[in-house]
Every structure is written in C-alpha cells, then in structure tokens.
C-alpha cells in the first residue's frame, strides 16, 4: 500500500529538549516536504526537498532542520523546541514539485 508514515503520532516535550519526527514514503517520490497546521492559518510549508541531499526552506523554517540522506526518508528535527512550535505537523511526498501530494497522518506536538 502506497503511504507516507510519520512517527510519533503524538508527542509532549519540554522546552529545549531536542526531538526528531520521522517520515518515510514507499512511493519512490522525489519531492518531500513538511507542513505545520495551525488554526486559521491552514498548512504552511516548513522545509522541502527536491531529491536526495537537496533541501530548502519553505515559508516557516525558523527553529527546524531537515535532512534527506535517502530518497524515502525525510526527518524533521527540532534542536531546541519552544512553545510556539506546538502544532500539528504533516509530512508529504509527491512525484514532482507542485503535483498531487500524499500526506502522512500527522504528528501532534506539544511543547511545554
């Protein structure tokens, strides 16, 4: 089954404690991205990757890092989480930039 898998689904952490949200896709897609969803703001892109070892900032990259060492994996790293990063996060993959994106089930992160 074609899917995007992200873990964990739920996470509560404390300010400053580094965390990683994993994302993996099994569709051999080149384009992957991370979004955050906040009330009244829709989904905003954090980072994207057009291929292995190629990543770039989206609209709200501050406080986040990503890496793309393999085609299937695109982890999101919060080096020092802060309460304003409390949000619902989605990983997505697509065959190419701007085409239909497939989303993971989401990770609800709370930073206290």
Partner 1 sequence: DQQVKQNSPSLSVQEGRISILNCDYTNSMFDYFLWYKKYPAEGPTFLISISSIKDKNEDGRFTVFLNKSAKHLSLHIVPSQPGDSAVYFCAASSSGNTGKLIFGQGTTLQVKP
- Which parts of this chain interact with partner 1 (CB under 8 A)? 4, 31, 33, 35, 40-45, 48, 50, 56, 58-59, 90, 92, 96-106
Name every residue whose Cβ is closer than 8 Å to that of residue 29 and which is 6 or more positions away in sequence: 71, 93, 94, 95, 102
Burial status of residue 112 (CB atoms within 10 A of its CB: 0-12, 13-18, 19 or more): exposed
Cβ nearer to partner 1, comparing 38 with 70: 38
Rg (C-alpha) for the chain, rounded Å, is 13
With beta carbons less than 8 A apart as the criterion, state whether 91 and 32 touch.
Answer: yes
Cβ nearer to partner 1, comparing 59 with 79: 59
* Nearest distance, CB of residue 80 and partner 1, angstroms: 26
Cβ nearer to partner 1, comparing 13 with 103: 103
* Nearest distance, CB of residue 41 and partner 1, angstroms: 6
Cβ nearer to partner 1, comparing 91 with 111: 91
* Nearest distance, CB of residue 95 and partner 1, angstroms: 11
* Nearest distance, CB of residue 97 and partner 1, angstroms: 2
Distance CA 5, CA 31 (A): 15
Phi and psi angles of residue 31, each rounded to the nearest 5 degrees, phi first: -100, 125
């Amino acid at each position: 089954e074609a899917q995007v898998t992200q873990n964990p689904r739920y996470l509560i952490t404390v300010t400053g404690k580094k965390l990683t949200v994993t994302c993996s896709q099994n569709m051999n897609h080149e384009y992957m991205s991370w979004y955050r969803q906040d009330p009244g703001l829709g989904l905003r892109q954090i980072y994207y990757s057009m291929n292995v070892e190629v990543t770039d900032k989206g609209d709200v990259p501050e406080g986040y890092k990503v890496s793309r060492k393999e085609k299937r994996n695109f982890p999101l790293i919060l080096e020092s989480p802060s309460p304003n990063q409390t949000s619902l996060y989605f990983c997505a993959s697509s065959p190419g930039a701007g085409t239909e994106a497939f989303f993971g089930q989401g990770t609800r992160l709370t930073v206290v």
